[in-house]
Amino acid sequence: MMNLFGGNSRSKLTAESQSTPINWWQRLSSALKNTLARLFALSAAVDYELLEARDEQGLFQFPRGRQKYYGLGSLVVFFAVFSAYGMGHMLASMSQISTAGAVIAGLIWGLFQWSLERQILISIRSDDAVWRKVFGLSWRAGLAFMSASVMVYPFFVESNRAEIDVKVGEISQQRMLNAKENTERIVNLPRLRQEQDQQQQSLQRLEIAMAQEPPDILSYRQIARQCWSRFKVEDEKLSRQLRPLRLQREGKGVDLTLDARISGLEQKREAAKSICSASDVAVNRHISEWRKLKQQEHLTITLEQKQLRQQLQIASDRQQALVTNLDSKIDLASRSGFAADFLAVASLVTKDKYRRLQLIWWLTWFVAIELVAILIKFGTKTELDTYLLLSEKKFVLDAEQEYRLWQEQQNTSYLRDFSQQQAEQAAWRNQTPDSASELIALEVSLARENTKHILKSKADLAMARSLLEAGIDELKLISELKSRAGHDVKMQSSGTLIDQMCERAQQELHARYMKAFGY
């Protein structure tokens, strides 16, 4: 018994354990393959059953068309996946968008790109005229270029991340410098600094002038020098005149006339000397006045310089506050992600020919991939395309034929009704007075019979309604009797008899109504 049951069960379990993973993997791969095939067929806008159709020998009915449209569908899915990644990458780099939002937006954009590529394939007809193909290729190429730019951008950014970060830093530094210059102009710092420099130069000139003599002092000194020169000549002249007079005075003794002459000459000499002394005093006074004036100017400029320093301090504080505010915004802008990267990419592509060549190369490659699907749909024609084209033409012809048939039926119905009306009008026109009166009498009698029939029907309906209402009342009484018999202890002993009576009453009621309604 143990060998009979236990041995067989172990062998069965071993076989199942060995075959289950293989079958599971085969089922999974088959389901995945079937799902991808259906997705590619849907992306190529072709029925999956049509692509998988087989002939009597088991071979595919449209082998070339099957490969063509599965390939087109895979390209459409490829474009959608890369577009979703590109849009999600761009949105994820924005500082105000979360990762979940970027993923959702990327999926939505990928679905949109998938629908767009699918509609582009649907709108292409390989049997169009050449000018239609050229026109269709032009605007489809524009769409392909825009789609390719979305797909290329994230790869270009990530491949040049270091250069882009450096460029973002350079742009931020330049912005900060420009912001500093602009804020200085806003608070009028350049003018204040220029005035400060001018005042400093004026002070230096005043200090130099104060250490020197007045510029016109030479004229004063020239006057004094000339005065003293004349005084020297006059003094020698007066001395020659006074010397003999004094000798005479010493010899004669007291002589009023001689004393008067000597006194007059001495007074004349003192008067000339006082004039020259006054010239010297004028020179000194002019120097003193000039230095006082310069000291006053120095004091005035010093006060103005102090006020200007206060204005400079206030302007510098305002400028620093503005610079701090702008620097924080510039720093925030440099960390904004997509906007900063986009500006850096634009600057990098504009100024660096190698990066520009890289972007053009990648963009050309992705545009070429986009155009492959369009060119394949435009330029190739398989047996499946012929079948689809003939099916479409057949559908159009059948629809036109059905429409013409419906139109002819409408015309026939109209002609039949029109002919009938014409015949009735002709019959009325050809009738005699007697036949017309007979026809009117017939119509009146038919109307009376119809009225009687309607009244009889109403009476029958009223009677049936009353019978139904009475039957409903009887059924309600029977139901109440059954319910009381079920709840009343005294009536439970005769419950079987009551049930038989209720059933008999229901049968009689049913027979009476069947007879009343004629069944």
Helix (H) or strand (E) holding 181: helix 161-186
Kindly report the pTM of this predicted structure: 0.48
In this prediction, residue 2 carries a pLDDT of 37
pLDDT at 119 over 60: yes
Band (253; pLDDT cuts 50, 70, 90): low
Rounded Cα distance between 412 and 260, Å, is 171
Cβ within 8 Å of residue 80, ≥6 positions away: 43, 110, 111, 113, 114, 117
Q: Render pLDDT for 405-451 as a digit per residue (tens, 0 to 9).
A: 888 888 888 877 777 777 767 666 665 566 667 767 777 777 778 77
In this prediction, residue 295 carries a pLDDT of 81
In this prediction, residue 19 carries a pLDDT of 46
Q: Measuring CA to CA, which residue among 330, 338, 316, 365 is closest to residue 82?
A: 365
In this prediction, residue 107 carries a pLDDT of 92
**Structure-token match 């660096």, residue found:** 352
pLDDT at 10 over 50: no
In this prediction, residue 108 carries a pLDDT of 92
Cβ within 8 Å of residue 116, ≥6 positions away: 143, 147
pLDDT at 317 over 50: yes
Q: Render pLDDT for 77-110 as a digit per residue (tens, 0 to 9).
A: 988 898 888 888 878 877 677 888 888 988 998 8
| 117 and 372 Cβ atoms separated by less than 8 Å | no
In this prediction, residue 111 carries a pLDDT of 92
Which amino acid, residue 193?
Answer: R
Q: What is the mean pLDDT of the chain?
A: 76
pLDDT at 249 over 80: no
Rounded Cα distance between 201 and 117, Å, is 75
